[in-house]
Structure 1
Amino acid sequence: MGTLKEDIKTQSDWIVKAFAADGLTLDYSIKSFIEIDKFFNRNSTPGKAKRGGRLTNKLGSTVFSIGSYIIETIMKQVPDAVLFTDDEAADGEVTMSVTLPDGGVIFPVQRVMKRFKNGEEDSIYVYGHQLTKDFTKEPFDESYWTMNNAKGEIKSWWKFW
């Protein structure tokens, strides 16, 4: 096992290949965070891995890999973003952070954990876009509202079941 910075690169590359096997394309764009939301919708319900889904085994390493991909993407897309890792910390995999040019600090692995726990309300795409839009000038992809679940269905706001 290398340093956290080395592990971030290795695991980010791994998750890109793993998602490709499921027909999900991660291309290091903020828009590709939609694919992460699709992945969670296919493989989990809030706080639980779906039986037979990709999260039933090795949940922790998958969460770390997705968080690593988010870090790598933000580092590529946001000029002057700064990664902080602490190889000595017992919880270093969870407390890795990125400081944005405006001074905001984000914790991508913790956000992925929240996405798993709470579901779509903690969307990775909406989060990533909001945090980076002033730096990337990337417009919000309105197709998110139809692609944000595994079936591509739009859930009526008034349906609670």
Structure 2
Amino acid sequence: MNEEIEEYLQSMGKKAVEYANSFDVVFTYSEKDVKDLEAILDYYSNDLKNTKDKPSKKQIYSMSLIWGSYLGELIIKYINPKLSWVKEDVFGDGEIIHLQDGDTRIFPIDKVYKRLINGEEDSIISFYDVIKK
């Protein structure tokens, strides 16, 4: 099951690479991409605040899945290669996709969702920096 999730999320990360091109951004799976990803999420977050036709939570989650998967792949590559994608009920309210290594759990998809909804107060740059420390 986890293998299927990992493959799926890696494919979502590849979509992020494709979508970044529409912003004239080239993702190279390097740490500098975190800043570029933050700028893309800032664009979407501002757009969400200023649009009359608000997307559904499901649509926002779909965006979060794509961009959060890419963020997760960076976290795996540069912070902890032992992390793997899992889908489990962590908080007692349904299964959630996240990264796990033993007792360590990281939620990049949820963080991207919060970034889109709340704006820059939920910066993924600071999220990444905290995890790195």
Displacement of 1:87 after TM fit?
A: 7.4
Displacement of 1:31 after TM fit?
A: 2.5
In 1: Cα distance, 2:89 partner to 2:4 partner: 10
Unaligned runs of 5+ in 2: none
Q: 2:107 maps to what in 1?
A: 107
Q: 2:10 maps to what in 1?
A: 9
1:40 maps to a residue whose letter is L
Call closer, same or farther: CA 1:115–1:74 in 2, change over 3 Å. same
Q: 1:122 maps to what in 2?
A: 122
Greater radius of gyration (CA): 1
Of stretches 2-11 and 69-78 in structure 1, the one that deviates more from structure 2 is 2-11
Q: 1:147 maps to what in 2?
A: none
Q: 2:76 maps to what in 1?
A: 75
Q: 1:97 maps to what in 2?
A: 99
Displacement of 1:96 after TM fit?
A: 1.8
Using structure 1 for the length normalisation, give the TM-score.
0.64
- Please identify which structure carries the higher helix content: 2
Using structure 2 for the length normalisation, give the TM-score.
0.75
Aligned length: 126
Q: 2:67 maps to what in 1?
A: 66
- Please identify which structure carries the higher strand content: 2
* Percent pairwise identity: 21
